[in-house]
Amino acid sequence: MTASLRLPALSAAALQQEKSLLQGDVLISTTLTDMGAAVTATMYVPMVRSQTWQKLTDYSKWVLYFPDIVQSQVLEAKKQSQSHPMTRRLYQVARKAFLMFSAQVEIYLQVIETLHQKIQFRFERGTFSDFSADLTLEDYGQGTLITYSVSATPLIPVPGFLIEQAIRRDLPGNMKTMRRVMCAA
């Protein structure tokens, strides 16, 4: 059953949005921050949430999901009690070419997992002055809706609108690659 069957009073815009998601589109919204940008991407994955969760929390596979990430490794994992989430420390390295220069960034993140619902990435240190990301999963029809919100401020002074444009340009393709790799395995 799709969301439109559960919610018969959807507006024409909501029906178009649902159709776009189910056809494989990635929906994007952006916000500029003081020196960086925040971008939210939403996509549909035709897999149940528990299966989607397993694939997303295999952090070494993120090099396949995001082509600019060249290294992704869990440094430490702590299983908390039943009522507390799993936490991990994650190290990632990414390389990106911008117009006439290329850059390599590295980041150490604290990862907080709420089983089958949410993954929060919180900045510890690295080549950003600030970074955070939230990835949420929810049942949607026969599959899962993934919403990935990223906020980043680099150490180098780059206007926020340029960061926003770069993330806005790259994130939909990265999310589609993520879905393709996850569904192929």
The 10s digit of each residue's pLDDT in 77-107 is 987 666 667 899 999 999 877 666 677 889 9
Could you tell me the pTM of the whole model?
Answer: 0.83
1: pLDDT strictly greater than 60: no
CB crowding 122-137: b at 16 or more within 10 Å, else e: ebeebebeebbbbbeb
User: Whole-angstrom distance between the N-terminal and C-terminal Cα of the chain?
Assistant: 25
Residue given tokens 């060249």 in the structure block: 70
Longest Cα–Cα distance of the chain, Å, equals 51
Give per-residue pLDDT as tens, 35-82.
566 789 999 999 999 999 999 999 999 999 998 999 999 999 987 666
CATH no. for 19-184: 3.30.530.20
Distance of CA 170 to the CA centre of its chain: 12
Q: What is the mean pLDDT of residues 16-43?
A: 82
Q: Are 142 and 121 in contact (CB under 8 A)?
A: no
Question: Can you give the pLDDT at residue 152?
Answer: 79
Structural domain spans, the chain:
19-184
